[in-house]
């Protein structure tokens, strides 16, 4: 994600994203990807068994962290 796009998303983002649908819509990914992010460590606030709230900043941080981990794994394999 380019810096300009990231700034644009953060500037217009709501305070909280509601559920997998909100995460998927914000990040431009599928519902299934949002579910795997939640099970993979994306910081979320569970209000009930079915209601999850996530801050847009947490989604951005998670995406950046995943990208850097993927890049470092590729670097280790090539080295």
d(CA 44, CA 59): 9
Across 2-25, b (16+ Cβ under 10 Å) vs e yields eeeeeeebeeeeeeebebbebbbe
pLDDT for 11 equals: 58
Domains of the chain by residue range = 3-78
Which of the four pLDDT bands, split at 50, 70 and 90, describes residue 14? Answer: confident
Which burial class, exposed, middle or buried, applies to 74 when counting CB atoms under 10 A from its CB (0-12, 13-18, 19+)? exposed
pLDDT for 79 equals: 45
**pLDDT (tens digit, 9 = 90+) per residue, 36-68?**
999 999 999 999 888 999 999 999 999 999 999
Residue 54 phi/psi, 5-degree rounding, is: -135, 140
């Amino acid at each position: 994600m380019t810096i300009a796009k990231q700034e644009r998303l953060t500037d217009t983002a709501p305070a909280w994203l509601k559920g997998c649908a909100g995460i998927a819509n914000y990040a431009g990914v599928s519902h299934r990807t949002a579910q795997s992010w939640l099970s993979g460590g994306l910081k979320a606030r569970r209000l009930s068994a079915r209601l999850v709230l996530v801050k847009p900043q947490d989604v951005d941080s998670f995406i950046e962290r995943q990208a850097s981990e993927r890049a470092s794994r590729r670097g280790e394999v090539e080295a």
